[in-house]
Structure 1
Amino acid sequence: MSLFELKPLEPYEYSPLSPAKRAFRLVQLLPPKPSIIPGTFGTIRIRVLEADIDTSARYDALSYSWNVPAGQGEPNRQVIVETDSGSRKLFIFPALENALFHLGTQNMTDRIFIDQISINQKDKNEKSHQVSLMQDIYMNSARTLVWLGPSTRASDRYFDVVRQICSEGVLSRVMGPRVSQFMHVFDAVMDPTMPVNEEQREDRDDLLDLIARYGDRFPLSGFADVLDRNWFNRLWVIQEACLAPSVIFVCGKKSLCFDCFRASSLFYSIYNTHWVRNLDKAVPQRVLRERDALFGKMGGLNRIFQERKAIHQTMKRRGLHDLILKYNVNHHLMKIGATLEQDRIFGLLGLAAIDDAVKRKVRVDYDAQVVQMYSEIAEILLQESVDILLFNQHPRKTQGLPSWVPDWAMDLSIPIRYVALGEPTSNAGGPMGEAPIRLEGSQPRIAIKGILVGEIQEVGQRLQQAQPNTKVHEEIDYRSAKLFFDEASRFARRAVGTARRRDFSLSAADVELGMQLRLCDSGLSYRHFTERLGAVAGIERLQALHSACHSLGERLIRSDETIASYHITRIYRTIGIVPWYWQPMSEMESLRTWALNPVLAGHIAGRALRDFVVDMTGLCIASARAWYASKVLVYRRRFQRIKLRPDPGSVEKLGLSADAGDRIVIFRGGTTPHILRLQYGGIHEMKYEYLGEAYCDGFMDGEIFQHEAKREETFVLV
């Protein structure tokens, strides 16, 4: 080995890309430099080529999860970049190094776009320019290679079994040319007695045959292993896998196309539903949880399928406003990951419609602070919908944001008055009038037109919660529901007088009942039952449901109190009876008894000792029985086997057949009232802090605009 080969390599210097051109870089994989240690990988060698988006020849794009270890700010794995002036060194993160080793050894690609190498990550101006071109880069690629990571025994088995299932051609047929009749075929698979035509019968019989041959062989653990890979929960990868014409998933030495992946999830849905419908015995809760959890893990794959369908089939892309909500509001699910908080917006630009007005207003600038960028985005989104304010939730992750700017980096939930994103159940503010206006100044402020409803006089403390240990799906915590209902009833009783002043024909009992039922979940159930069953029947059904939940919660609370009362210390504090052996005779009487009749004295002492032991043993047994019974109920609920189909007798037994002072404001164009807190009241301008949404009984459908005494004014939020 010569001294020249031992000389350290100089760092690779990127040649600048002209921002006036649609230029980008491609990576050409070269044979690796052999390792001096036998049996190990060598050093990756590449060549970086400049290309033009519109005239470039065929190339692939790589999609992968960076998987940067916590605390590691800089890449530490060296690759060799071959240039006209010699070899240079460039550092990348370990996850990309692993991907390039496998792709290179399998000769899967020649020229490929890799964001970590193709973009100078230290040049924020170049990064901002390249991100604006990302949509075209991926759309013009031949395909996207998705690197899921190294393989495991479970993942290899999953890839092998799925490849066998897909080779039958049945799933591709029902997903492709015969997709229009698939739902009828699905029902026929679950119930073979349903009438079907010739094509449907063929599909039904073939699917039943697949279930019989591959159902029990389908590797549930392997499916979970693959779906748990970090790639499926990253924000940037959505557009990387959706824009390209085709997608190939690579895991170690195994690979599958996107349609095969989709077919595997479809097969599991069919097989699992068939398994559940034909289950005639109790099964451990663990089995049901594992199977049910797989549907939750499919969220990442379903996102890719939905967006690919919108881009390549229906040609109905969403606007950026809807995409930001869809992929940043996780609503108790796992938050989609993003390395940089700016990418929660910039990583969605490529998915938005080409002519989307919101998209055109976004300024891609990685040099700007997150607070500044989120404020600019909030201003743009508020021009589209005032309800963007509803996503100002707590606790915030990004510090320093104005109260009216949503923190897209935190866990966000669907607003209370929405049944789903984009589906509000009320329209308190009517149509939007004048759009919110951003005010100039050192502090980000926004002015919104609205009407003041009133001030808050009292704030409740109770919340409805879910059971901490559920069987399979989330369930109500009836104890907290009962306490919440009690507090809602108290508020309703206080508000009866105000409601009757509006309509004297209403009885106090009816007003209190209606208001009480509406307050329980901000009117969602009230509206659902009354619209579906009518005013009278809907209220009766909701009242019965309310009464059942309240009664069960009350019984559970009494049970808790009974269990607590059997604690030994509680018994001694509350029993109110002093045992005779705790009341000793006087000193003279005791001496006289021991002197005159020691046998009697010993007999009395023995009885006292016996009664003490009997009482203590009884107390301990009673306390232990109550404690044991409570634990048995908890563990039986958590671990008992579940019978999915109750027998008719059990169904019939159930009666079943087949801060004060804050202000409430309604903004023009908003679907629900909002809570504001006065921060500063000056002579010419009052500034408010935005707190959150509210429910105002009697003002949820635009009634505020019918009040002659109410006047519209401008509220400045800071």
Structure 2
Amino acid sequence: MTTFSYTSVPLKSPATEIRLLELYPSDSDSDDHFEAPLRCRLFTTPIITTNPATHPIVTEFKALSYVWGDDTATHSIAVSYDPPFAEPNAPNIPRKPSKIAITTSLDAALRHIRHPVKSVTLWIDQISINQTDFTEKGHQVQLMGKIYASATQVLVWIGPAADGSDDVMNAMRVSGQWARDAGLESYYARERFHLLQPIISNVHPDDPTTILQSLKHWFERTWFTRLWVVQEFCLCPDTVFVCGDRIVAVELVMLAVQLLQFCIGNLKAGELMSIPDWRTRVNEVADEPTAALFSCRQRRRKFDRGEPQAEGDTLFVLLRKLYVARDTGAKQHRDRVYGLLGLAVDTDLLGVKPDYMTTETGVILTGVARAIVSTGRVDLLCFTQGPKRILNYRSDGTVAENSERLPTWVPDWRPGLRESYYKIHENTDSHVFNACGGDSQVEVATDGKMSSELVLGLGGYTIDTIEEVAPDAWTDMDWDHKRYLAYFGQMEQLWLRAKDKTYPIYGDNTAQRKEESLWRVPIGDRYWSKLLGELGRAGTVPDVAVYHRQCWDNVLHFAELDKLPLDEMNKRHAESGWEERYANGQCGQEYREGMRRMVGMRPFLTERGYLGMGPADAREGDVVVVFCGGRIPFVLRHATGEEVAAANGGTQRDVGGEGRLFSFVGEAFCDGVMDGEVVTEVEKKRNFFLV
């Protein structure tokens, strides 16, 4: 049998047509439906038409969402044109059967999806797109949002039955249907969500030990870590999970998972959590991977239905959801962007199109970053974190690191980026910082001498120059009294030096506010309470200074115990009343949780006396700035000759004027400038060019 050639089923217009696969049924007379050879035919159909009224798209198809797995194609599917499946009058169709090589993962999926007596029409990226034709691939990737939105159903194939998955799928269907019948979906609105907890507070799994272990295996399936599944999962109204021969609608799974999370909350408060094995299992399942997927789907479905105030997710929001504190894989680094274009509601506005002909991934990422900043999202810079790595994957699954240099201001969108210390839920939370004040908008600066696409010009204000940084960055915020003793000590030393400076950085209130900076800065001036929720600015909670003192006293308590013999240490600890204070939340636990927000940052002091937290690699001489339209400050560094040369085609000269070129260092908190104070000093406004 010859190898299939895509020239036999060409796409006349790759920008408007797609190939579909008609998967033939297994021989109904066969005793083994599953093992029968795979057979199909390929044909083309329009997916975009200029006149839907006169030329409607009538071909119905299902789209498959799955994991390719190893790229090695060890299986095959026969493409047949012989009777009874032949099309005698069709032009340019070969008369001899041929075969398409497919991966093991796709082979298993097709054997489970295949119907015993009826054909199934499918769109499958591995077969429907000529993967070796980069021009066609670019057009088809651009169409993927349309493809999945047009499918009559999306089949999310997560693999064969294994590790109790049949029980999990059954439990998902039953509990999800119970939640739907109980009307729980009507509570997923801001004004009614608080009523949901009392309704299901007494729901518990029937057989928690068994179901938790099976759920753990289910959530660990590779499909949940794949990038392309996000848009595949979100765009079709009828989307189902397929595992083995079990099928469950994704909405039922969503409801079941949310019930599970409520149950886990109840279980964590119960006696079972004192059993180590049980506690481990509960925590493993609590960290399940579907939250971001369901969030993206719900927001997109509401947007497509035209519901009031349903804005959908922009590309920047999707990048943040999927690459910050998460690991979402993609075999080619550029696909970290391309895999989301069909889902992002601002793709046309950004003007980003898939390009598989350009070999430089850095050029692609830079163009995307510039487009996002130009639409007003200067907070994209919060995720420009080092050390940057452009990662691609070889066919054997190993990592191939790219040596391309990214401009200092461009995020690499690698998995596991740190969340910004100024994380808020934009759909529900109000902003608490506005460092550029008022309704300031991002100003993208241009200069005829700054023509390089690697340079980003932004209007903004200089706050001050960093005079001193703490010896250590706060890279580990797990409890260790010795570590926290060092952290508090670093902050106190800088605070004492700040008090010696006479510049009135807080105006008439400088003396009092300098005192307060000691407890404001370590938590980024935001305080969170388990009882009251996020309260915004720490200064609005009178007792935060007390909580800071309690946290400091707790650290000193354990430091003192360290100096004692074991018997004396235990006696002194028992006599201190620590257990009671801890049970009452009087050991600064919540203040310490607030400090966790600043993980990866380093305390600094500026020349005028501002106290703040900056990037881990901040150093003396760096400049703290606020960009127009920015909520928080950032730290810049005067560009080196090498960086200038990279931006200016080899010329190590600041062609824009002395001191105008900077490298980007990272985000910052700077006490006393978070409410637009610096904007009043008009003389500080200038253009910054980042290389």
Smaller-chain TM-score range? 0.7 to 0.9
- Alignment equivalent of 2:18, drawn from 17, 21, 24: 24
* Distance apart, 1:678 and its partner CA: 1.4
Partner deviation per Cα, 1:274-314 (whole Å, 9 max, x = no partner): 5456x357621331232233232142553355245434556
- Alignment equivalent of 1:174, drawn from 168, 171, 183: 183
Structure 1 residue 65 and structure 2 residue 67: aligned? yes
* Distance apart, 1:111 and its partner CA: 0.4
Whether the 8 Å CA contact 1:139–1:244 is kept in 2: the answer is: yes
Structure 1 residue 713 and structure 2 residue 686: aligned? yes
Q: Which residue of 2 aligns with 1:402?
A: 407
Partner deviation per Cα, 1:205-253 (whole Å, 9 max, x = no partner): xxx6xx5894658722222222221212322112212211201211112
Whether the 8 Å CA contact 2:273–2:279 is kept in 1: the answer is: no
Specify the code of the residue in structure 2 equivalent to 1:395.
Answer: P
Q: Which residue of 2 aligns with 1:663?
A: 623
Q: Which residue of 1 aligns with 2:102?
A: 92
Q: Which residue of 2 aligns with 1:391?
A: 383
Partner deviation per Cα, 1:372-405 (whole Å, 9 max, x = no partner): 1111111101112222222211121124111111
Q: Within 1, Cα distance between the matches of 2:365 and 2:625?
A: 24
Partner deviation per Cα, 1:489-526 (whole Å, 9 max, x = no partner): 11111112435645786685x45421212221232239
Structure 1 residue 293 and structure 2 residue 284: aligned? yes
Specify the code of the residue in structure 2 equivalent to 1:704.
Answer: V
Q: Within 1, Cα distance between the matches of 2:234 and 2:382?
A: 30
- Alignment equivalent of 2:169, drawn from 129, 147, 159: 159
Secondary structure class of the residue paired with 1:86: coil
Specify the code of the residue in structure 2 equivalent to 1:17.
Answer: L
Q: Within 2, Cα distance between the matches of 1:526 and 1:187?
A: 23
Q: Within 1, Cα distance between the matches of 2:204 and 2:14?
A: 60
Length-normalised TM-score, structure 2: 0.75
Q: Within 2, Cα distance between the matches of 1:109 and 1:477?
A: 63
Specify the code of the residue in structure 2 equivalent to 1:407.
Answer: D
Q: Which residue of 2 aligns with 1:302?
A: 294
Specify the code of the residue in structure 2 equivalent to 1:483.
Answer: A
Alignment of 1:369-380 (within 5 A): 369-380=360-371
Secondary structure class of the residue paired with 1:664: strand
Q: Within 1, Cα distance between the matches of 2:529 and 2:557?
A: 28
* Distance apart, 1:125 and its partner CA: 0.9
Partner deviation per Cα, 1:163-192 (whole Å, 9 max, x = no partner): 45466x5643323578787854641454xx
Specify the code of the residue in structure 2 equivalent to 1:668.
Answer: C
Alpha carbons of structure 1 residues 45 and 447: separation in structure 2 relative to 1, 3 Å: same
Q: Within 2, Cα distance between the matches of 1:396 and 1:107?
A: 53
Q: Which residue of 1 aligns with 2:436?
A: 429
Q: Which residue of 2 aligns with 1:113?
A: 123
Specify the code of the residue in structure 2 equivalent to 1:486.
Answer: G
Q: Within 2, Cα distance between the matches of 1:533 and 1:32?
A: 62
* Distance apart, 1:371 and its partner CA: 0.7
Specify the code of the residue in structure 1 equivalent to 2:667.
Answer: E
Partner deviation per Cα, 1:647-682 (whole Å, 9 max, x = no partner): 9998469599xx212222222222222222212464
Structure 1 residue 187 and structure 2 residue 192: aligned? no
Aligned CA RMSD, in angstroms, stands at 4.0
Q: Within 1, Cα distance between the matches of 2:206 and 2:469?
A: 58
Q: Which residue of 2 aligns with 1:574?
A: none
Q: Within 1, Cα distance between the matches of 2:510 and 2:6?
A: 81
Q: Which residue of 1 aligns with 2:351?
A: 361
Q: Within 2, Cα distance between the matches of 1:320 and 1:349?
A: 9
Q: Within 2, Cα distance between the matches of 1:535 and 1:307?
A: 31
Q: Within 2, Cα distance between the matches of 1:293 and 1:555?
A: 33
* Distance apart, 1:109 and its partner CA: 6.0
Q: Which residue of 1 aligns with 2:612?
A: none
Q: Within 2, Cα distance between the matches of 1:175 and 1:55?
A: 36
- Alignment equivalent of 2:485, drawn from 482, 486, 490: 482
Q: Within 1, Cα distance between the matches of 2:568 and 2:2?
A: 75
Q: Which residue of 1 aligns with 2:604?
A: none
Deviates more, 1:50-59 or 1:75-84: 75-84
Specify the code of the residue in structure 2 equivalent to 1:56.
Answer: V
Alpha carbons of structure 1 residues 33 and 124: separation in structure 2 relative to 1, 3 Å: farther
Whether the 8 Å CA contact 2:76–2:100 is kept in 1: the answer is: yes
Q: Which residue of 1 aligns with 2:395?
A: none
Q: Which residue of 2 aligns with 1:675?
A: 635
Specify the code of the residue in structure 2 equivalent to 1:496.
Answer: K
* Distance apart, 1:434 and its partner CA: 2.9
Secondary structure class of the residue paired with 2:434: coil
Q: Within 2, Cα distance between the matches of 1:171 and 1:527?
A: 33
Q: Within 2, Cα distance between the matches of 1:262 and 1:228?
A: 16
Q: Within 1, Cα distance between the matches of 2:554 and 2:116?
A: 62
* Distance apart, 1:32 and its partner CA: 6.1
Secondary structure class of the residue paired with 1:57: coil
Q: Within 1, Cα distance between the matches of 2:144 and 2:626?
A: 40
Alpha carbons of structure 1 residues 438 and 343: separation in structure 2 relative to 1, 3 Å: farther
Q: Within 1, Cα distance between the matches of 2:528 and 2:160?
A: 52
Q: Within 2, Cα distance between the matches of 1:483 and 1:107?
A: 71
Q: Which residue of 1 aligns with 2:396?
A: none
Whether the 8 Å CA contact 1:76–1:93 is kept in 2: the answer is: yes
Specify the code of the residue in structure 1 equivalent to 2:148.
Answer: Y
Secondary structure class of the residue paired with 1:19: coil
Structure 1 residue 80 and structure 2 residue 91: aligned? no
Structure 1 residue 416 and structure 2 residue 427: aligned? no
Partner deviation per Cα, 1:423-446 (whole Å, 9 max, x = no partner): 653222230253244976566112
Q: Within 2, Cα distance between the matches of 1:683 and 1:21?
A: 42
* Distance apart, 1:118 and its partner CA: 0.3
Specify the code of the residue in structure 1 equivalent to 2:144.
Answer: M
Secondary structure class of the residue paired with 1:549: helix
Alignment of 1:553-632 (within 5 A): 553-560=555-562
Whether the 8 Å CA contact 2:435–2:676 is kept in 1: the answer is: yes
Partner deviation per Cα, 1:53-86 (whole Å, 9 max, x = no partner): 2523221110111223xxx5x5333322224421
- Residue segments in structure 2 that go unaligned for 5+ positions in a row: 48-55, 82-93, 391-403, 589-618, 642-652
Specify the code of the residue in structure 1 equivalent to 2:153.
Answer: R
Q: Within 2, Cα distance between the matches of 1:504 and 1:183?
A: 42
Partner deviation per Cα, 1:336-383 (whole Å, 9 max, x = no partner): 222322222222222223xx3754511221222211111111110111
- Residue segments in structure 1 that go unaligned for 5+ positions in a row: 1-7, 191-207, 469-475, 564-621, 634-645
* Distance apart, 1:478 and its partner CA: 4.0
Partner deviation per Cα, 1:431-464 (whole Å, 9 max, x = no partner): 0253244976566112122222332222212344
Q: Within 2, Cα distance between the matches of 1:323 and 1:650?
A: 39
Q: Within 2, Cα distance between the matches of 1:682 and 1:94?
A: 55
* Distance apart, 1:538 and its partner CA: 3.3
Q: Which residue of 1 aligns with 2:2?
A: 9
Length-normalised TM-score, structure 1: 0.73
Alignment of 1:429-508 (within 5 A): 429-430=436-437, 431-432=440-441, 434-437=443-446, 441=451, 444-464=454-474, 466=476, 476-498=479-501, 501=504
Alpha carbons of structure 1 residues 328 and 652: separation in structure 2 relative to 1, 3 Å: closer
| The structure with more radius of gyration | 1
Whether the 8 Å CA contact 2:15–2:139 is kept in 1: the answer is: no
Alpha carbons of structure 1 residues 41 and 558: separation in structure 2 relative to 1, 3 Å: farther
Give the number of aligned pairs. Answer: 592
Q: Within 1, Cα distance between the matches of 2:364 and 2:243?
A: 36
Whether the 8 Å CA contact 2:636–2:662 is kept in 1: the answer is: yes
